Amino acid sequence: MEKIYITTAIPYVNGKPHIGHAVDYCLADCYARYHRLKGDEVRFQAGTDEHGNKIAQKAKELDLPVQDYVNENANKFRDFIKKLNVSYTDFVRTTDESHEKRVQEIWRRLSDHIYKAKYEGWYCTGCERYVTKKEFDETGGVCPDHQKPYEELQEENYYFRVSDFKDRIREAIVSNEMRILPEFRKKEILCLLEESPDVSISRPVSQLSWGVPVPDDPSQVMYVWLDALSNYITVIGFPDAKDFGEWWPANAQFVGKDILRFHAIIWPAMLIGLGLPLPQNLVSHGMVLCDGQKMSKSIGNVVDPIEVLESHGLDAFRYYFLRHIDTFADSDFTWDKYEEAYNNELANDLGNLVQRLATLADKNQIVISRDNNSRLSDEYIALMDGFEFSKAFDLVWNKIQELNKRIDEEKPWSLAKNGEIEKLKTCLHNLIDGLLTAVYELSPFIPDAAAKIIDIFSGKITTPKVPLFPKNHN
Ligand SMILES: [Zn+2]
Angle at 92 between CA 243 and CA 48, to 5 degrees: 150
Q: Is the dihedral of CA 105, 106, 111, 112 positive or negative?
A: positive
In a domain, 441, yes or no: yes
357 with 432: CB under 8 angstroms?
A: yes
In terms of Cβ atoms closer than 10 Å to its own Cβ (0-12, 13-18, 19+), residue 322 is: buried
Domain total of the chain: 1
352 CA → ligand 1 middle, Å: 50
Average confidence (pLDDT) over 189-206: 94
For position 472, what pLDDT does the model report?
65
- The set of catalytic residues is 18, 21, 124, 127, 143, 146, 294, 297
346 CA → ligand 1 middle, Å: 42
Average confidence (pLDDT) over 397-423: 96
In a domain, 128, yes or no: no
Query: Is the pLDDT assigned to residue 450 strictly greater than 80?
Result: yes
Average confidence (pLDDT) over 245-262: 96
150 CA → ligand 1 middle, Å: 8
Which domain does 437 fall in, by range? 335-456
Query: Is the pLDDT assigned to residue 437 strictly greater than 70?
Result: yes
For position 224, what pLDDT does the model report?
86
CA distance 49 to 52: 9
296 CA → ligand 1 middle, Å: 14
In a domain, 123, yes or no: no
For position 51, what pLDDT does the model report?
97
Using pLDDT thresholds of 50, 70 and 90, give the confidence band for residue 365.
confident
153 CA → ligand 1 middle, Å: 14
Angle at 80 between CA 385 and CA 473, to 5 degrees: 95
297 CA → ligand 1 middle, Å: 14
Query: Is the pLDDT assigned to residue 282 strictly greater than 80?
Result: yes
In a domain, 380, yes or no: yes
Query: Is the pLDDT assigned to residue 176 strictly greater than 80?
Result: yes
Average confidence (pLDDT) over 156-167: 97
458 CA → ligand 1 middle, Å: 56
In a domain, 155, yes or no: no
**Lowest-pLDDT choice from 46-55, 208-217, 269-278, 289-298:** 289-298
pLDDT digit string (tens) for 258-280? 999 999 999 999 999 999 999 99
For position 291, what pLDDT does the model report?
84
436 with 376: CB under 8 angstroms?
A: no
142 CA → ligand 1 middle, Å: 8
**Lowest-pLDDT choice from 190-194, 367-371, 377-381:** 367-371
Mean pLDDT in the chain?
94
122 CA → ligand 1 middle, Å: 11
For position 474, what pLDDT does the model report?
46
Angle at 259 between CA 254 and CA 265, to 5 degrees: 95
460 CA → ligand 1 middle, Å: 62
For position 371, what pLDDT does the model report?
63
CA distance 23 to 37: 21
Indicate which CATH number applies to the domain containing 399. Answer: 1.10.730.10
Using pLDDT thresholds of 50, 70 and 90, give the confidence band for residue 152.
very high
For position 367, what pLDDT does the model report?
79
144 CA → ligand 1 middle, Å: 7
Query: Is the pLDDT assigned to residue 35 strictly greater than 90?
Result: yes
Query: Is the pLDDT assigned to residue 423 strictly greater than 90?
Result: yes
399 CA → ligand 1 middle, Å: 48
In terms of Cβ atoms closer than 10 Å to its own Cβ (0-12, 13-18, 19+), residue 392 is: buried
In a domain, 271, yes or no: no
CA distance 156 to 288: 39
Query: Is the pLDDT assigned to residue 2 strictly greater than 70?
Result: yes
For position 373, what pLDDT does the model report?
76
123 CA → ligand 1 middle, Å: 8
In a domain, 68, yes or no: no
Average confidence (pLDDT) over 378-390: 98
Query: Is the pLDDT assigned to residue 128 strictly greater than 90?
Result: no
